[in-house]
Amino acid sequence: MGSPVSPIVVNLCIESFEQQALQSYPGVKPRLWLRFVDDTFVIIERTELEGFFQHIGKPCLDCLISVKNDGSLTSKVYRKPTHTDHYLQFGSHKLGVIRTLQCRAETIISESELIPEEKEHIHESLKNCGYPNWAFLKANKSRKDQKQSDGVGQPNKARVTIPYIAGLSKRVKKHLKAFGISSSFKPNNTLRGKLVQVKDKQSKEKRSNLVYGLVCGDADCSAACG
């Protein structure tokens, strides 16, 4: 949701903030600092953890990386100590909240046996926010149908991009899907379209009733014209 330029603006801002924070840290700086949008993966000396976190701010990741006894890494969903499990009430965004949290669990958690535990936590938390049981069933069914439509072994015949027109584009998308054609929407009214002009606009008077002069380089043509 929002303007297509939003991720670029956010990335520029965070890049400036992180450079200032890393350069101003008085202790031993991290050996590795990787960032995607507002999530970071950091390798740092254990003795520097507390001081670095106090300097850079409280951790805001959805992902908690741990080192197992054999030296391998494992990941699971991270929640801040102040997290309250309060989400948007069911009447606000309905199934989208369920799909998003379940997708996060399936994507982040590296140990498959821990995924059911996380989904149960999601279920209980959202129930406390007014989400009925049928909403979970419907969300799971729609996610399953989406996977099948994207499907392994069932490739789409083609993919098209169509302009987004409220009330029309979704109906067109539905009809295309019946023929095995996947589609995506392209907004007509964009920030780039408002700010960028490839050519200077001409007045209406200069775009109509024009007389063009053609230069003739042939001798016979010049004689005939003269």
3-37 residue pLDDT tens: 677 777 777 777 877 888 888 888 898 889 888 76
Residue 61 confidence class, pLDDT cut points 50, 70, 90: low
Give the pLDDT of residue 164. 82
Q: Which of 98, 80, 81 is nearest to 89 (CA)?
A: 98
Average pLDDT over the chain reads 78
Angle at 103 between CA 100 and CA 108, to 5 degrees: 120
Query: What pLDDT band is residue 147 in, cutting at 50, 70 and 90?
Result: low
pTM of the model: 0.45
Q: Which helix (H) or strand (E) holds 43?
A: strand 39-43
Comparing 27 with 188, which gets the higher pLDDT? 27
Give the per-residue pLDDT at 146: 64
Residues 108 and 77 sit within 8 Å (Cβ to Cβ): yes
pLDDT at 95: 82
Whether residue 1 has pLDDT greater than 60: no
